Amino acid sequence: MRESKLRFWGVYITGIVTLILLSVHFFMLFANNLNFDNRISTPVVDEYLSNSAYYSLLGLLLVVAFIHGLLGVRRSLYDFGLKKGVKDVIIGGIIILLILLFFYFTT
């Protein structure tokens, strides 16, 4: 299989998985009749996050959406016609920036 087909299917597969996981997330959020202020209260959020399956699905949603987004950025960079080294530096910079932001906000 050519790389272009792998990227094409990678974008579509990650997009479909993101849509499915996002649907599960929205279903979990809106399955009860709480208003917004009650839904974001600490006891309700702790109750949702105590469910390890749901917590794992949220993590998987973040990872798959991140991969889907990076594949889209990569495809856009190829459409601009930049040289390969420039594209690699931009993608690497984005990945490093997001990793640093992750550690900054989680510590």
pTM above 0.85, yes or no: no
pLDDT at 6 (0 to 100): 67
- Asked if pLDDT for residue 1 goes beyond 60, the answer is no
- Asked if pLDDT for residue 43 goes beyond 90, the answer is no
Contact at 8 Å (CB) between 59 and 38? no
Q: Encoding tokens for residue 67?
A: 């991969």
Cα torsion at 54, 50, 29, 39 (round to 10°)? -160
pLDDT at 30 (0 to 100): 80
Which of 60, 63, 70 lies closest to 95, judged by CA? 70
- Please tell me the number of Cα atoms within 13 Å of 61 on its side-chain side: 14
pLDDT at 94 (0 to 100): 86
Q: What is the DSSP letter of 55?
A: H
pLDDT in tens, 48-95: 788 888 888 888 998 899 888 888 887 887 788 778 788 888 888 988
